[in-house]
Structures are given as structure tokens and as C-alpha cells.
Amino acid sequence: MRNIIPALIGIGACCAAAGANAQTIDWQVFAEPFVSTAHAQSIDWQKVDETLGRKPAVTDDVHRYGFPRSDLTVTLDGVTIKPALALGGWVAFKPVHDGVMAMGDLVLLEPEINPVMMKMIASGLQITAVHNHLLRASPATFYMHIAGHGDPIKIATAIRDGLAESKTPLKVTAPATPPPAPDLDTAQLDQIIGVKGKATGGVYQFNVPRRDPISQEGMQLSPGAPLGLAIGINFQPTGAGKAAITGDFVLTSEEVNPVIMELRTHGIDVTALHSHMLDEQPRLFFMHFWANDDAVKLAKGLRAALDKTASSKS
């Protein structure tokens, strides 16, 4: 609200200077945040939680539910991948004027793709991408991006029923012992990457927001990180100061090749380049990467690549 009031004052001043009157202003633009808040309060989030069988992480008005593939043992270049590194499926719900906008990224094995897809589309959800994020992983994992718009309970039910066609765990079980803190110089990594990371599931994760606004269906997609629109960088310790890194850069078209050049120059493999959505503005491309080397060295390479993007430092 503090951000909206100055904007309204500024618009009013501009209109007065131009001789405009209030009847010519589309006040719906300014009402949208209040409408979203009202709808967020009217949604039965407990029912959504019960349908999906888990509690969300809540950031502003976005509820994000994790679906990690803790049932899988995936290895790549001798590294056993933790779910928080590259196997963390998720679905996020953002309130809109007629329900919610939902988007997500589900981790699947090859035989699971079409059964899950058929169940999802039969329930009215959209499939917006299916692709790899990693190379050489065993077993190979694929990533299905989904979208929905409407009643949150119906969407949650469709997601649950779709995932039931896979072996994705639908019941949350707490680990017997919490994973140890990542054995890395996280303070130095924070300084190099330029934002504060956080430890999750034995992995040190960064979300680096973009500076430019991103919209879909006329609505700004904010906050970006829980909606999958921040640059994601994950470090999994592999011993002796080394780490396996993966994640994705969120890029506009003119940023793609400069980032490729920086990553490859610093010994970081580019493993995928593709879209995740269908009609976002501006058009975005998602670049996935992989390396296993000295963590500080890799962080410097990632920082060089970040400097080619319109991303923010804290």
C-alpha cells in the first residue's frame, strides 16, 4: 500500500497538469492489488493444503507447495543429487480476481510423462513445457511445467490426481535427522553472488531477482522467486571445498548468448535452453547449467554470468 499511494499521487498530478478528469482514468489498474488481497483472504487455503497433502511456503500472496522426488536416487558425474539441488518439483498459487493463477514444475521419469500429462489436461490444466534440465543423469529426469487458472480447490485436485499417475510422494514424511549445514564457505559465496543464500536440504540455494517486471495475462507476476521467475543457483557440497552446481538463469533474448559465453569460459556446462511459459511478457528463456568444481571458483563464474543480466544485488 505504501508503494501504491505515491503512484496514485503522481498519476493525479500528471492528469491535473494535462487537464484530464477522473472519468478518463482506468482506476482498475490501481485496484488490482486490493482485489488480489481480498481474494487471497477469501480462499480456503486449509482446504488447498489438505488437498495437496502438505503446507506451503508463503511469500506475500503466493502459496508455493513443494513436491520433491525424495523417492529417486539420481546420480550425475558421480554425484548423488539431493532433491533440493535439482529434483524439487513445485506448484505455486497466486490469487487473481476470479480464483488463482497456478504454475509449477514437476519432476518426472520418462514413463511417467504421458500418464501425468493426460490426467492434467483432462482436468483442464495446461502443459507449457516438457524437457530436460540435466545431461548424463541416471536415471534421466524430465521436467513438466504446468499452468492453471480458476478455482484453487479444483486446480489442487487436478494436480494431486495428475501426480498420482507418477511415483511422486504424495505424503510428506520428515527426515529421521535433519541434514547437516552445507560444508561450504557460505559467507564468501554470499559476497560473490551478491545476495544472501539459504541452506535447504543440505544444499545452499540462491534466488537472484530480475529488475524488470514480468507479466502474464495482464497481471504482474510478483513476487518472482516463488513463481519460478528468479535466477536460481544451487550449491551441493562434494567435499574438499568443491560443490556441484545447477539451477537456471532467467533471461531475455539479448542476454542468452552473453551468458552462455561467460558460463562456458568459466568451465560451467550449459545443459538446456528453453521456455517455461507460453505468453509471458517480456519473453523469457531459461538456461540450465552444471559443474562440479571448487565452489568459490564456480561462484565467480556465475557472478560473471549474472553481470550479463538485468538482475539485482542486495
Pairing of strands 126-131, 99-109: unpaired
Q: Report the pLDDT averaged over residues 167-193.
A: 91
Q: Which secondary-structure segment (H or E) carries 300? A: helix 295-306
Q: Which secondary-structure segment (H or E) carries 39? A: helix 28-42
DSSP letters along 45-100, please?
HHHHHHHHTSPPEEETTEEEEEEE-TT---EETTEEPPHHHH-EEEEEEEEETTEE
What average pLDDT is seen over the chain?
A: 89
Asked whether the predicted pLDDT for residue 224 surpasses 80, the reply is yes
pLDDT at residue 42 in the model: 84
Map out the domains of the chain as residue ranges: 4-38, 43-173, 178-314
35 pLDDT band, cuts 50/70/90, is very low
Residue 279: all three cell numbers together: 505468453
Q: Report the pLDDT averaged over residues 212-236.
A: 93
Please give the distance of CA 302 from its chain centroid, rounded to a whole number. 18
Asked whether the predicted pLDDT for residue 192 surpasses 90, the reply is yes
Of the candidates 128, 134, 311, the one whose C-alpha atom is nearest the C-alpha of residue 231 is 311
71 pLDDT band, cuts 50/70/90, is very high
Alpha-carbon span 227 to 225, nearest angstrom: 5
Residue 168: all three cell numbers together: 511422486
DSSP H helical ranges for 61-203? 83-86, 113-122, 152-163, 186-193
| Contact between residue 123 and residue 161 where contact means Cβ atoms under 8 Å apart | yes
| Contact between residue 235 and residue 295 where contact means Cβ atoms under 8 Å apart | yes
Classify residue 1 by its DSSP letter: -
C-alpha Rg value of the chain to the nearest Å: 21
| Contact between residue 111 and residue 271 where contact means Cβ atoms under 8 Å apart | no
Residues 6+ positions from 198 with CB-CB distance below 8 Å: 204, 205
pLDDT at residue 217 in the model: 80
pLDDT at residue 12 in the model: 44
Asked whether the predicted pLDDT for residue 81 surpasses 70, the reply is yes
Determine which of 40-54, 95-109, 171-185, 206-220 has the lowest per-residue pLDDT on average. 171-185
Asked whether the predicted pLDDT for residue 16 surpasses 60, the reply is no
Pairing of strands 219-220, 231-239: unpaired
Using a pLDDT cut of 90, give the percent of the chain over it. Answer: 80
pLDDT at residue 39 in the model: 55
Asked whether the predicted pLDDT for residue 179 surpasses 70, the reply is yes
Alpha-carbon span 291 to 234, nearest angstrom: 11
Alpha-carbon span 228 to 11, nearest angstrom: 31
Q: Report the pLDDT averaged over residues 52-61.
A: 97
| Tens digits of residue pLDDT in 144-166 | 999 999 999 999 999 999 999 99
Of the candidates 246, 248, 201, the one whose C-alpha atom is nearest the C-alpha of residue 229 is 248
Q: What is the pTM of this model?
A: 0.85
| Tens digits of residue pLDDT in 244-300 | 999 999 999 999 999 999 999 999 999 999 999 999 999 999 999 999 999 999 999
CB atoms inside a 10 Å sphere around CB 258 = 15
Residue 40: all three cell numbers together: 487471497
pLDDT at residue 41 in the model: 65
State whether the Cα torsion 136-210-202-57 is positive or negative. Answer: negative
pLDDT at residue 2 in the model: 42
3-state secondary structure of 19: coil
3-state secondary structure of 165: coil
Asked whether the predicted pLDDT for residue 63 surpasses 50, the reply is yes
Asked whether the predicted pLDDT for residue 98 surpasses 80, the reply is yes
pLDDT at residue 64 in the model: 98
Alpha-carbon span 263 to 302, nearest angstrom: 7
pLDDT at residue 14 in the model: 43
Residue 201: all three cell numbers together: 536440504
pLDDT at residue 138 in the model: 98
